[in-house]
Structure 1
Amino acid sequence: MNGVTQSLSTVLPPVIQIVGYKNSGKTTLITELLRLWAADGKRVAVIKHDAHQFQMDHPGTDTFAHTEAGAAAVAITSPTRTAIIREQPSTLQQIIAELAAQSADSYDLILVEGFKQEPYPKAALIAREADLPLLDHLTELHWIYTRLQPNELNALLFEQDHSREPAVQTLPETLNLKETPIIPAGKDGIMKLFIALNAYIMSYAKR
């Protein structure tokens, strides 16, 4: 643990990851959860992982011209918004530390989309049977949000069918799916997940 992370360890807000394969509905789910938290007066920061070369700036702006001219970082601020674009990668821990450093009470929650290998509590999105191998690679899985019917998912995960390859090959030792809540996708499911995430946030605050 580096000095920055260690010094912030007592003021970090809770961090929750939303993970899933491409087109599993992560962005849609996060958007719905953000609306609920905003209506509840909560301030939530979102960190998104992009495996590709993303572009936030565009030709014709001063900041784009600065970057093209060789600036290592460009910052722009207005009365309502601030953005900093650096020409270098950052780890998830670095981004979380920077968000927390703004002040101890800047955010009630940091919500992370992606970063499957990171060690924070996760909600996994299982949109279809083909998504189940995702569970082979996760730690700290606290919730499963799925378009599959719960009985169908349970059968795929726990019932032995020797006529086919198992959907999940080798679960991490720290993962106990039988104790992981399975939440069906949909309007009611979003609210159930929202309530479950809020319960975690409240328990985190009591630590």
Structure 2
Amino acid sequence: MTILAEVELQSLIIRERFVRDTGQWVKLREAYHPDPSRTRIRTMWHDGDIDGFVSGSQKLHTTSGAIIHHVVPAEYKINGCKAVVDCWCFINARLPIHGHDYELKTSLRLLYRCEKFENQWKLLTLEPIYIHDLLAPVPPAPILKMKGLESYRQSYRFTAWMVAQRGIVVANDLPGEDDAKSVEELLGRHREWLNTA
């Protein structure tokens, strides 16, 4: 039973990232619990329920370059009809800046809370733990001058800088490997939720 649940959860999470990257918005919404008040997605650009995340993703999808999430579910913690899945995630984004292309690579972990609803696993939350990132020119693009880069956290500074260029205020307290306390707090909340009846 546990192996079947892990396979189902793996399929759900890989599909959730794929449909988001390919602009399949109905399928993205269907991956999450039907009650938006049960959901919370906290990313660099969104902190709210799934409906807001879907509409925000649609807007970003039309203005940003190609973004691909490579997600690898690595650890499954299952307690009855509840589960927490911890994944490696590697994001590649090809972004046009000042007439040149740049490659943004972000390494992070994604934590999902999942729950059975009408005998199917649905996602409740999505929260990242940032590890490190890199922004590199695609030849013949010049090295980019990034004003204010030093004001962003070490674990997600290039990604935050890019997001800020779109006029989005980036939170400075997101969980990241450069702040062990923020990671432990997030993991602790997930453990408490999983073990609460």
Common fold, TM-score beyond 0.5?
Answer: no
State the structure with more CA Rg: 1
Instruction: State the TM-score, normalizing by the size of structure 1.
Output: 0.27
Q: Give 1 or 2: higher strand fraction.
A: 2
Structure number with higher relative contact order (C-alpha < 8 Å, ≥ 6 residues apart): 1
